[in-house]
Structures are given as C-alpha cells and as structure tokens.
Amino acid sequence: MSDVSSPVVFVAGARPNFMKVAPMLRAMTAAAPPFERVLVHTGQHYDAAMSDVFFRELGMPSPDVHLNAGSGSHGAQTAKVLASFEEYLLGCAARPRGVVVVGDVNSTMACALAAVKLSIPVAHVEAGLRSFDRTMPEEINRLVTDAICDLLLTSERAGDANLAREGIPAERVRFVGNVMIDTLMHQLPAAKALGVAASMGLAPQGYALVTLHRPSNVDEPVRLAALVGLLEKVAARRAVVFPTHPRTRERLERFGLLERLRSNGAIHLRDALGYRENLGLMADAALVLTDSGGIQEETTALGVPCLTLRSNTERPATVTDGTNTLVGDDLDAAWARVLEVLEGRYKKGATVEGWDGHAAERVTRVLLDAWG
C-alpha cells in the first residue's frame, strides 16, 4: 500500500510554465492517483499580468506553497529558488515521492537541483530540447536539468535524438508530446469568444501580432531600434498588435523608442496580455513575429505563419513540420518573409506527432507507472 500523504510536487515559476502545468494537474485529478498533489509556485514571475491571470483563466488551483523568489540576476534568482525549494522539501511532513518540473526557466533548473540532491526523483516535462546556443540562459537550464533528472519526458522527436546523443539511457526517456498544446486546444473556444481583435477594431487576418522579450533582441539599443523600424514597415501594410513583456517595455522606454511606437496609429501597443486574449489574437493573426519559444509551437498548432526573430530554435518540428521560419538577425530577410505572408505566397504547416491535446494524459500514465 502506498503512503497517500507522500505527495508528488508540481513546480511552476514563470509565465511559460503555467500553461504546461495546468493540463497535468487536470489529468492527474481525473486519474485519481493514490497520492496527494502539491503545487509550488516559485514566484519567479509575480505580477498579476505575468502570473495571477494565468491561474484564473486556466482554472488552476491556487498554489499550496509560494516561495516568493522574485526577480534578480540569474545567479541570485536561481540561488533563491534553490534554497527556498530545498527548505520546503526538507520541511514536508512526508517525503515527496517525486517532483515534476517543466520547461527551461531558472526555476526549472533550481528546483530539479534541490530535489535530486535530496535523492527525490525528478521528472522533466519538455526535456531534450536544444538550441545548441549556450549564450541563451534557457539552454544552460535545459542541459543541467536533463543531465540530473530521473525521467525525461519529451515533446517532439528531436528531444529523444538529442538526449540519445548526450548518452542518456533510453529507459530514462519517454516521448509524451506537447502538454502546452493540450491547454491551447482546451482554451481555444473561450479565447475566440472574447473577440479581442474586434474590440480593437481589427478584422481577422487584418493584423500582425508581435512579441519580443529575449535579451538578444531587447537589451541592445541598436538591435531594438532596428526591430522597431521593422515593425513600422509592417505597420505601413497591416496593423501591428504588440503586447509588451515588462522587460521589453522597460527597455523601449529607456532607449527612447516607446514614444515612436505610441505615436504610430497602426501600432497597437499593449501591456502583457492574459492567456486567452493572447491566444485569441494569435488564432486570427495574419502572421506572428516573435522570439518566444512557446509561441513558435502555438502558431504551428494553430496553422498561423510564424516568423521567429532568432537564428536558432530548440523546437525544430515547428520549422520542419509547422508554420515557423527562422529569420535570424537579418531584418531585410525578415521583411521579405513578411511580404511573402501578406501576399499569400507563404505555404507551410502540418501537424506534429503528439501535439494532439492528450499529452498530459500520457504524462500521468508515466508518472503513475514510475511513482504510483
């Protein structure tokens, strides 16, 4: 008989984690496992717009534990999450039977490290993704997390191949598909019903949606100014909707670029959006320009053209099978692709294996097998 009070701990820390954890909690509840589930929020993202709205919209239970880590340098933030998650694990009345971490943010690596050092098994959901670019903080988080976790659950086949190449034994790896697409399929009707584009006076396909937050794009004034120039060119052809991450908003203001965007009547600048608002806008966009990881996958699932302002991706299925094209640093090449889309010459997109709305059920089966 298993000890019911020995819980499985799910960790969520930052915005891109919430839509991955939500379907797993739902699937776990439906499967009625013979143990408790605990949700820990590290507090890496803490604003209402970066965190609270996701819990509300995705129907997630309030976190059982809040570590309140907050922002900071990478070292300071990682250390804070590591120390406070370790303290939480040590204080648990019954030793957790396992910890589930998702994605590639600082909280993912920190919590995996704290748990494995206490010999608690850890499962990493969205394992094996590699951009092969070690200047990206997320790439370091992925490498470290996968090297130490017991169970590696992959979202696309490239993940399996990467882990095999790194010498990780196949029995630690399970292909489960993409849990984020579970959330997308579950939320799409409600997202469309919001009518966000219409409320902004925009018709379906009548706008491009833009998101930017990577340090490589927004932290350097010359690069960010060039990207603002690209958005102005797009806006001359099609309206642009640009919800801004707090980091991007701060940089635009600091580099004197915010006013340029604000004064352009075809550019709709917004604060960071909730999950449904963003999904509704994405579903009806003519194209999406982004440097996000998750949005490359979501646009593929929606069949919406996506131009990624990076020169690599850890999610190659979005390029080989999906609607994504990497436009890299060359903004003239990006503009040529924008024209291709707007003129109806961009033909790309198919389904990806395991991106079917049932990945969380497969995760649950793996976890029940391993820890149930």
Catalog residues that contact ligand UD1 under the rule CB under 6 A.
14-16, 44-47, 50-51, 71, 77, 104-106, 137-138, 213, 245-247
Closer residue to ligand UD1 in complex, CB, 5/68: 68
Order of strands, edge to edge, in the sheet holding 173-175? 65-66, 37-41, 8-12, 98-102, 122-127, 151-154, 173-175
Q: With beta carbons less than 8 A apart as the criterion, state whether 372 and 4 touch.
A: no
Least distance between ligand UD1 and beta carbon 138 (Å): 5
CB of 109 to ligand UD1, least distance (A): 8
CB of 206 to ligand UD1, least distance (A): 27
Helix (H, G, I), strand (E, B) or coil at 147: helix
Instruction: State in angstroms the smallest separation of the CB of 348 from ligand UD1.
Output: 24
**Nearest CB to ligand UD1, comparing residues 290 and 364:** 290
Catalytic residue among 124, 186, 213, 245: 213
End-to-end CA distance of the chain: 10
d(CA 280, CA 209): 11
What contacts 24+ positions apart, CB below 8 Å, involve 20-23? 20/102, 20/103, 20/125, 20/126, 20/179, 20/180, 20/183, 21/60, 21/102, 22/54, 22/58, 22/59, 22/60, 22/183, 23/179, 23/182, 23/183, 23/186, 23/359, 23/360
CA 345, distance to chain mean position in Å, is 29
Active site residue 213: yes
**Judged by CB, which is closer to ligand UD1: 246, or 372?**
246
Please list the residues that pair with 208 across neighbouring strands: 240, 287
Nearer Cβ to ligand UD1 (31/79)? 79
Nearest alpha-carbon partner for 106 in 135, 86, 81, 136? 81
Give me the amino acid identity at 90: L
> How far apart are CB 26 and ligand UD1 at their closest, in Å?
22
* Residue 300 C-alpha from the chain's centroid: 14
Query: In which element (H, E) is residue 208 found?
Result: strand 207-211
Instruction: Report the nearest approach of ligand UD1 to the CB of residue 44 (Å).
Output: 5
Per the document, the length of the chain is 372
Name the residue nearer to ligand UD1 (CB basis): 58 or 367.
58
Closest to ligand UD1 by CB, 213 or 268: 213
Distance CA 231, CA 309 (A): 12
What are the residue numbers of the active site? 213
